[in-house]
């Protein structure tokens, strides 16, 4: 296998407000876009010719990855102008693929071991994964290693194995696409025509991001494999335990307490007297003021967190300015997404560029859209649209 196609055109509407300004594949997990993990997994398996099918906010993908040279791969871009489905996306790459190629979703977090068994498979083949909850996936039935059927989100599942959206196809796959918009429909059509599709199960990492709280969960999972490095300046009296990575130019002020796994980016200023607990990622140019506690949270680039704040199980997007005594404690709450209610144990979800005054209290599960403003001494709850004002 010498070539892969990564489908990276989608928006990810259920991940709003975080996908209003970026495609789903560019959401950062432990300091890197999800798409970068996919590209790196391919490179580690010797697949260096990669076609990226892009669409929504495609310029951000271009700007980050360029030609792919910095990751040791060669990238070719094709565009899906209207995001109608995965098969529709794959057709955009028809003129640039070889006789056999790997197909992957750009919004699933994987590692090299995940696809190792598929790389040497002959077309057509599909990658399966055993998961505890199959309700939001295409469930597969197999006989030994022969795929029998893919059933999308069945009311009752007979198996706990799902379609990961990862395949090996030959160019004859395109002959089966007629009016079908999604790849599973085409695969079922091939099966009905007597084509044998090999089913390969992986034990490697395969993590899906569907809802905003999935980002926090995945961040914690990836940080378990963090490579520690200590850049910048660490003052006297700082206590660090476990896996901790600190970028260059960052200052950790005295008497701060950091329990890994924790990732802190470049040019940050932390403390003094700050506590950072496991499964936390801080981006670049983040300021965390004294006596603040952060636990199991993501804080993206250019965020300023004022003194004596508490953040638990929260996601704070780029460029937020949070004044002192901000409280975002986790709690069990029902959150509505696309007319579905999800019971989640979570803190606050803040979009990019939000400005919060002093002593704001965020109820568990609050979702602030991008560029919202909240005056001091306010309690906020529920979901607010972009540029909302709370007076």
Sign for the CA dihedral angle at 163, 165, 168, 173 comes to positive
3-state secondary structure (DSSP) of residue 80: coil
**CATH architecture for residues 222-390:** 3 Solenoid (2.160)
Answer whether residue 238 shows pLDDT above 90.
yes
**Sequence-separated contacts (24+) of 117-121 with Cβ below 8 Å:** 117/200, 117/202, 118/166, 118/168, 118/200, 118/202, 119/1, 119/45, 119/46, 119/47, 120/1, 121/168, 121/198, 121/200
User: Which residue from 294, 293, 252, 245 is spatially nearest to 270, judged by alpha carbons?
Assistant: 252
Q: Are 74 and 4 in contact (CB under 8 A)?
A: no
DSSP element (H, E) containing 370: none
pLDDT category, 145, cuts 50, 70, 90? confident
Read off the DSSP letter of residue 65: H
Question: Is residue 240 reached through a cis peptide bond, with omega within 30 degrees of 0 on the bond before it?
Answer: no
The predicted-structure confidence for 283-307, as pLDDT tens digits, reads as follows 999 999 999 999 999 999 999 999 9
Instruction: Report d(CA 107, CA 207) in Å as an integer.
Output: 9
Question: Is residue 251 reached through a cis peptide bond, with omega within 30 degrees of 0 on the bond before it?
Answer: no
- What is the CB-side half-sphere exposure of residue 152 using CA atoms within 13 A? 8
pLDDT category, 251, cuts 50, 70, 90? very high
Please tell me the predicted confidence (pLDDT) of residue 250.
97
Please tell me the predicted confidence (pLDDT) of residue 296.
97
Question: Which of 13-27, 114-128, 178-192, 268-282 has the largest mean confidence?
Answer: 268-282
The predicted-structure confidence for 193-209, as pLDDT tens digits, reads as follows 889 999 998 988 898 88
Please tell me the predicted confidence (pLDDT) of residue 235.
94
Instruction: Report d(CA 61, CA 160) in Å as an integer.
Output: 34
Answer whether residue 239 shows pLDDT above 80.
yes
For domain 3-210, give its CATH number from 3.90.550.10, 3.40.50.720, 3.40.50.2300, 3.30.43.10.
Answer: 3.90.550.10
Q: Indicate the average pLDDT of the chain.
A: 92
pLDDT category, 249, cuts 50, 70, 90? very high
Q: Nearest 10 degrees: CA dihedral of 275, 279, 282, 283?
A: 170
Please tell me the predicted confidence (pLDDT) of residue 243.
96
pLDDT category, 140, cuts 50, 70, 90? confident
User: Which residue from 91, 88, 105, 87 is spatially nearest to 42, judged by alpha carbons?
Assistant: 105
CATH 3.90.550.10 region(s) of the chain?
3-210
The predicted-structure confidence for 146-202, as pLDDT tens digits, reads as follows 888 888 887 777 788 899 999 999 998 998 888 878 899 999 998 888 899 999 989
Answer whether residue 1 shows pLDDT above 80.
no
What percent of the chain has pLDDT above 70? 100
What percent of the chain has pLDDT above 90? 64
CATH 2.160.10.10 region(s) of the chain?
222-390
- What is the CB-side half-sphere exposure of residue 41 using CA atoms within 13 A? 29
pLDDT average, residue stretch 215-237 = 92
Answer whether residue 54 shows pLDDT above 90.
yes
Please tell me the predicted confidence (pLDDT) of residue 333.
87
Q: Ramachandran region of residue 254, left (φ > 0), alpha (ψ -120 to 50) or beta?
A: beta
Please tell me the predicted confidence (pLDDT) of residue 342.
82
């Amino acid at each position: 296998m010498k070539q892969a196609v990564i489908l990276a055109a989608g928006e990810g509407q259920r991940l709003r407000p975080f996908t209003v300004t970026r495609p789903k594949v560019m959401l950062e997990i432990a300091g890197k876009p999800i798409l970068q993990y996919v590209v790196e997994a391919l490179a580690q398996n010797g697949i260096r010719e990669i076609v990226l099918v892009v669409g929504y906010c495609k310029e951000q993908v271009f700007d980050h990855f360029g030609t792919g040279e910095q990751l040791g791969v060669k990238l070719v871009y094709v565009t899906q102008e209207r995001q109608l489905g995965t098969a529709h996306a794959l057709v955009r790459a028809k003129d640039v693929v070889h006789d056999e190629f790997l197909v992957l979703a750009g919004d699933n977090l994987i590692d090299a071991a995940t696809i190792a068994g598929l790389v040497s498979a002959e077309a057509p083949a599909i990658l399966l994964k055993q998961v505890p909850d199959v309700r939001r996936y295409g469930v597969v039935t197999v006989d030994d290693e022969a795929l029998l059927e893919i059933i999308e989100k069945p009311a009752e599942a007979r198996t706990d194995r799902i379609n990961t959206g990862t395949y090996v196809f030959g160019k004859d796959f395109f002959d089966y696409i007629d009016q079908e918009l999604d790849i599973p429909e085409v695969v079922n059509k091939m099966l009905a025509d007597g084509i044998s599709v090999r089913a390969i199960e992986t034990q490697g990492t395969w993590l899906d991001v569907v809802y905003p709280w999935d980002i926090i969960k995945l961040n914690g999972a990836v940080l378990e494999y963090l490579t520690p490095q200590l850049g910048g300046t660490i003052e006297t009296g700082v206590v660090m335990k476990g896996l901790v990575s600190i970028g260059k130019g960052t200052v950790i002020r005295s008497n701060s307490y950091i329990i890994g796994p924790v990732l802190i980016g470049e040019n940050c200023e932390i403390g003094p007297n700050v506590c950072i607990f496991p499964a936390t990622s801080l981006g670049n140019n983040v300021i965390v003021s004294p006596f603040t506690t952060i636990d199991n949270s993501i804080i993206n680039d250019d965020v300023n967190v004022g003194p004596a704040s508490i953040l638990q199980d929260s996601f704070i997007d780029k460029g937020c300015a949070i004044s002192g005594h901000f409280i975002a404690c986790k709690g069990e709450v029902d959150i509505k997404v696309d007319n579905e209610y999800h019971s989640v144990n979570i803190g606050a979800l803040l979009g990019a560029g939000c400005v919060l005054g002093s002593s704001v209290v965020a109820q568990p599960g609050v979702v602030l859209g991008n560029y919202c403003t909240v005056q001091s001494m306010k309690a906020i709850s529920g979901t607010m649209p972009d540029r909302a004002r709370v007076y």
